[in-house]
Chain A
Amino acid sequence: DAKTTQPNSMESNEEEPVHLPCNHSTISGTDYIHWYRQLPSQGPEYVIHGLTSNVNNRMASLAIAEDRKSSTLILHRATLRDAAVYYCILSREGDYKLSFGAGTTVTVRA
């Protein structure tokens, strides 16, 4: 299984953008890039996913490098509620299994 590498932690100020990097140098052509987050005392929550093109939704944007070996999750204006552990996960279409790593713990300062 292709693996991802994320920083252990990041800090941000409220109302500023947050850029969360993820490296996945062994990604294959059919691997989707998923992002989930987990707020304290809650289950993981789907954020966004993509294959090759950049993606936007109401929660975040996903920027995927042209060679797909890295990606960045962008939270446009961090709020205190965005403090969570963010997981970058690769999932092969049709595999139907996710493998969670340690993720990046995001702290948002008021």
Chain B
Amino acid sequence: DAGITQSPRHKVTETGTPVTLRCHQTENHRYMYWYRQDPGHGLRLIHYSYGVKDTDKGEVSDGYSVSRSKTEDFLLTLESATSSQTSVYFCAISVGTTDTQYFGPGTRLTVL
């Protein structure tokens, strides 16, 4: 257990509404990540952060933005949710120089 929590754990929203998912860690790790997982696609990196206010895009960043104003929190925002963003979202942190990652429990998002 790397002290990672995600909120909310489940959310149902409507197309066009903004949604923010929160990832919280308790151990001050520098690197944090957001992934999405869909059937047939495995886990895909959306955005990651390498420090407060330092973020970069992953392979599927379109339609998503992130913010990290404190070491412990990494927020993922869907500015205007679409049905294609229905997915399970996982947050992760990286420990050490060999990039061992620990994952949160996931957030299941449904966009109607």
Contact = CB atoms under 8 A, between A and B. Distances in A.
A91 B33 CA distance: 15
Contacts of B74: none
Interface string B1-42: 000000000000000000000000000000100010000001
B45 interface: yes
A42 B42 CA distance: 13
Interface residues of A, number: 22
10 contacts: A32-B98, A32-B99, A34-B100, A42-B106, A46-B101, A49-B98, A93-B97, A96-B48, A98-B45, A98-B99
Interface of B: 31, 35, 42-45, 48, 50, 58, 90, 92, 94, 97-106
Contacts of A96: 31, 48, 50, 94, 99
B48 A94 contact: no
Contacts of B97: 93-94
Contacts of A42: 105-106
Given A44-B43, A44-B90, A100-B43, A95 B105 contact: no
A78 to B, nearest CB: 23
